[in-house]
Amino acid sequence: MDQPAIKTILQMCPQHRLEQEAEKKIVMLAERAHHEAVVQLSTAGRNVFKENVYLHKALTYHLKDAETRQKNSKKLQESHSCLLHQKEINELLVKEKILQLTQQKSQIQTLQKKVVSLENALTYMTTEFETEVLKLQQKAIIENQAGQVEIDKLQQLLQLKDREMNRVKKLAKNILDERTEVEQFFLDALYQVKQQILMNRKHYKQIAQAAFNLKMRTACVGRTEYPRIRTFDGKEHSTNSVNQDLMEAEKWPSTQKNVDIGDLTWEQKEKVLRLLFAKMNGITARKYNQSSKPPVPDYISDSGEMKETGGEINLPDETFITQQVPVSDSNKMMSPGIPKGLQDSDIVRNLLSGQTVHHWYLSLCDVFLLVHKFFFFFYETGFLGIVLEAVSPAWPQTHRGPPASASRVLGLKVCTTTAWLSCLL
C-alpha cells in the first residue's frame, strides 16, 4: 500500500494521535528548557557553550573530511592495482616486442642476403639479354638485307612478267580476231549452203510439178495411164509427196571411206559443215542415224577427237569459243608461296592475274591447235576449196581468189598464231 494511505489510517487511530501530541509537547518543553538554561548561564558558561558548538562543527567537518579522504584512498588503491596490472601487461608486451625485433632482425639479414644474390642474378641476366638483343639485331639486319635483295629480284621478275603479259594480251587479241574471222567464214558458208538448198528445193519442186502436170495432160488425152497422185504442199499424211524426194537427199547411200566432196548433195554438205563446226568448238554432235551419218576418215574418231593426240578438249556447251571467254577474279587467287601482306600489293596482284590469263591462253592454244588440224584436214581433202567456191560471194574482197590460195592463207595464219602462242607460253 502507499504511504499516504497508511498515514491516513494511522491518523484515524486515536491512540496514535495522542502519542503524537505528547511528543510535540516534549519537544517544545525541551526547547523551552534549553532556552531558559542558556539565558540563565553565566558568561563563562556561555563561552564554553559557544566553544562546544564550535568544536561540534569542527568535529563534523573533520569527520566529513576523513570520509572523503578514505574514499580518495580507496580510489587511489584501486588505481594503483590497475596500474600494477597494466605494468605487468606492458612488461609482457615489451618482452614480446623484443622477441619480434630479434626475429625481424634475423629475417632482415636473410632478406638482405637474398637481395644481394638477386641483384647479382639480375645483373647477369641483363648482360645476357643485352648480348642476345645485339645478336638478334645483327641477325635481323642481315635478314632484312637478304629480304631487300629478294624483293628487288621479285620486282625485276614482276616487271618481266608484266611485259610478257602485255605481249600475251596483244597476241591473244590477234588470235581472237582471227578466231572470229574463221567463225564468220563458217557462218557465211552455212548461210550460203542453206540458200543453195532452198533454191535447189524450190527449183526441184517446180520441175517435179511441171512433169506431173505434163503426165496428167498426156493421160487426159489418152496417150498414157494416169500417174499416182502427188502432193507439193508438204502435208504430213501424204504418201507420195515431193518432200520425200527432198528427204532422200539428206541420206548417205554408201558408207565408203573415200568420198568426193563434189558428189555430195547440198544437204549432205550442210551436215558435214555443222559436224565439223561442232567438233571444232568441242560441242557434242547431234545423234544421226546410221543412214544419215557422213563417213569420217580413219584418223578422226567417232567422238570428234583426233586419234593422233588422244587428248580430250573439255569446253563449255556454247556455239562459239569467242562468246565464252572466262573472266577470272585475280583478287581471289592466293599464291601459297607469297605472304599475305605482299599479295595485297598491286604488283603481286598483277602477277596473279597474269597466271590466270596464262592458264586461259593455254586452253586457247589447245583449241587453236585443234583448229589447225581441222584446216589441215580440209586442205588435204580439198573440202575447203569447194566451200570457198560456194561462199565466194559472201567472202570478203581481200580473201577472194583461187580456193587453194585462200585455204593456204587461212591455214598459214592459224599455224603461225598457234606457233607464236606455244613458243611464248
| Residue 340, SS3 per DSSP | helix
Predicted pLDDT of residue 47: 78
Q: Compute CA distances 193 → 196, 206, 266, 388, whole Å.
A: 5, 20, 6, 11
pLDDT in tens, 55-84: 888 888 999 998 999 999 999 999 999 999
Judge whether 98 lies within some domain: no
Asked whether residue 79 is domain-assigned, the answer is no
Res. 140: pLDDT tops 60 = yes
pLDDT band at 348; cut points 50, 70, 90: very low
Round the CA-based radius of gyration of the chain to a whole number and report it: 70
- Residue 284: the pLDDT is 55
Would you give the distance in Å from CA 12 to the centre of its chain? 118
Q: What is the pLDDT of residues 297-340, one digit of tens each?
A: 443 344 434 343 333 333 333 334 343 333 334 343 344 444 44
* Local confidence band at 111 (pLDDT 50, 70, 90 cut-offs): very high
Tell me the CB-side half-sphere exposure of residue 290, using CA atoms within 13 A: 2
Instruction: Quote the domain boundaries for residue 308.
Output: 142-424
C-alpha cell read off for 165: 603479259
Q: What is the pLDDT of residue 4?
A: 58
Question: Does a structural domain hold residue 65?
Answer: no
Mean pLDDT value across residues 95-101:
94
* 153 vs 180, more confident: 153
Cell of 260: 568426193
Is the distance from CB of 158 to CB of 351 less than 8 angstroms? yes
- Model confidence pLDDT, tens digit, residues 279-297: 777 765 444 443 444 444 4
15 vs 382: CA distance, rounded Å: 181
Per-residue pLDDT tens digits for 112-133: 999 999 999 999 999 999 999 9
Residue 174 has pLDDT above 60, yes or no: yes
Number of domains the chain contains? 1
Question: Which pLDDT tens digit goes with each residue over 153-169?
Answer: 999 999 999 999 999 99
Residue 258 lies in a domain: yes
Residue at 28 is within a domain: no
Give the pLDDT of residue 280: 72
Contact 388, 395 (CB under 8 A): yes
Handedness of CA 372, 377, 382, 383 (dihedral sign): negative
CA–CA gap between residue 113 and residue 96 (Å, rounded): 26
What are the φ/ψ torsions at residue 176 (nearest 5 degrees)? -65, -40
- Say whether pLDDT at 106 is over 90: yes
Which backbone phi and psi does 325 adopt, to 5 degrees?
-75, 120
Q: What is the pLDDT of residue 162?
A: 94
Instruction: Let me know if 208 is exposed, middle or buried by CB neighbors in 10 A (0-12, 13-18, 19+).
Output: middle
Is 208 among the domain residues? yes
Cα–Cα distance, 335 to 315 (Å, whole number): 26
Mean pLDDT over the full length of the chain:
71
Residue 41 covered by a domain: no
Q: Note the pTM of the prediction, 2 decimals.
A: 0.36
Name the residue among 364, 359, 357, 409 with its Cα closest to residue 167: 357
Cα 16 to Cα 308: distance, rounded to the nearest angstrom? 165
pLDDT of residue 32: 82
What is residue 12's predicted lDDT score, i.e. its pLDDT?
56
Position 130 in a domain: no
- Rounded Cα distance between 56 and 51, Å, is 8
Phi, psi of 290 (to 5 degrees): -65, -30
Label each residue of 35-47 as H, E or C: HHHHHHCCHHHHH
pLDDT tens digits, one per residue of 35-47: 777 677 667 777 7
What is the sign, positive or negative, of the torsion defined by CA atoms of 201, 205, 211, 215? positive
Q: What is the mean predicted confidence (pLDDT) over 261-265?
A: 75
